[in-house]
Amino acid sequence: MTTQFSTAHDSPVFFDETHRMLRTQVRRFVETEIKPNADLWEREGSTPRNVLRKMGELGFFGIRYPEALGGSELDERATVVWAEELGMSTFSGVAITALVHTDMASVHIFNAGNDEQRAEWIPRCVSGETITAVAVTEPGAGSDVKGIRTNARLDGNHWVINGTKMFITNGVNADVYCVAVKTEPDAPLSQSMTMFLVEKETSGFTVSRALDKHGWRSSDTAELSFDEVRVPATSMLGARGQGFYEIMKNFQNERMVLGAMAMGEAQAALNLTVAYLRDRQAFGAPLWDKQAIRQRLAMLQSRVECCRQMVYATAARLAGGEELARDVSMIKALAGELVNEVMYDCVQFHGGMGFMCESTIERMARDARVQSIGGGATEVMLEEVAKRM
């Protein structure tokens, strides 16, 4: 007997037929292209480019971009559908590879870029021809964005960048990087930063090393080095000294996306575990017959449903133009912690099999651990909420 995914996503309160069609299409891609093949990608350490091109060809990389640039011109609710279904795949390394490209990196080109930059890059991002990464985090600056030290100086019509970036998703295989650097050393911290586009083949730019991670094994992550990297002034994204605000602008979307992904992960883990417990015999009966186990999973399902509904409602409000920094910070904190609670109990209820690398739930538990760290650690998110109480 199998466990069915919650039907909450079919609610007309949040989603219309376009969203439901998108969900069906993404789910079909997950079942036919990701699940049968991603064990190999886990071993190889990245998601193949031909798979990303297929995602682009199906329109997944252009969900929010204008039709004139090759996109579908949908809203935040569609982004949630996309992220949640990728989270349901059980291969979160593949999911984050795609989501960083669509909702954390290429968005900087669209949001901060001028008309020429958008016209040059967005159609290529939408098609999957060009894959993007965003380079903000450094060895000494993670959630504290203002602490970055990578810098750039103006030299004629070029900027010269020096520094190091760390934990950059898509860092090994991206074609173009949206890089945050300090350009105004004497300005207030919030006005000291500028974003630049840096192409992979630029002289002085190197992928220092591919990083070996606890989870997200099918996602490439890198340390990047900038040694006298000269980029033309035309590669600046947005206004000089406004990079911090550009980064902050996308945090609402990024944290909502991670929350949706986490709830997809949590739901998939619960489905998998309930199915396992219905079949697993112990003490003469299926483990599902044990009241304590059933009730623990029922409580987790209830909490996942509540968090999912908050993600849906927040996406709908964002689509309506509201500013919701408090709400997305709540989502990121709640979803990041909850998905790890779910994984802990799901591993526990799988018993010894849950500890084996051959089991799906073991991989999922490793992948989920970063959800309370990446994209804004839980503690930082709670401070954002507390400021607004």
Q: Of the candidates 374, 243, 255, 229, which has an alpha carbon nearest to the alpha carbon of residue 326?
A: 255
Q: Of the candidates 169, 354, 360, 143, which has an alpha carbon nearest to the alpha carbon of residue 265?
A: 360
What b-and-e string marks burial along 144-178, b requiring 16 or more CB atoms within 10 Å of the CB? ebeebebbbeeeeebbbbbbbbbbbbbbbbbbbbb
- Looking only at the bridges linking them, the beta strands covering 132-135 and 176-182 are parallel
Tokens 């964005």 found at: 145
Residue 382 is classified by DSSP as H
* Distance separating alpha carbons of residues 360 and 365, to the nearest angstrom: 9
| Residue 295 to residues 82, 133, 290, 303, 340, Cα–Cα distance (Å) | 30, 42, 9, 12, 18
Compute the CA torsion angle 299, 305, 311, 312 (nearest 10 deg).
Answer: -170
| Residue 303 to residues 151, 255, 267, 307, 336, Cα–Cα distance (Å) | 44, 19, 11, 6, 13
Q: Of the candidates 70, 52, 66, 69, which has an alpha carbon nearest to the alpha carbon of residue 175?
A: 52
* Distance separating alpha carbons of residues 133 and 170, to the nearest angstrom: 5
Compute the CA torsion angle 90, 350, 303, 215 (nearest 10 deg).
Answer: -40
**The one catalytic residue among 84, 254, 265, 362:** 254
- The 3-state secondary structure of 3-31 reads CCCCHHHHCCCCCCHHHHHHHHHHHHHHH
Q: Of the candidates 147, 156, 166, 231, which has an alpha carbon nearest to the alpha carbon of residue 195?
A: 231
Q: Is 254 a catalytic residue?
A: yes
CA angle, residues 380, 148, 121, in degrees to nearest 5: 100
Handedness of CA 184, 185, 187, 193 (dihedral sign): positive
* Distance separating alpha carbons of residues 59 and 70, to the nearest angstrom: 8
List, in sequence order, every residue forming a beta bridge with 134; answer none if it has no partner: 178
Q: Cα 174 to the chain's mean position, in Å?
A: 15
Residues with catalytic roles: 254
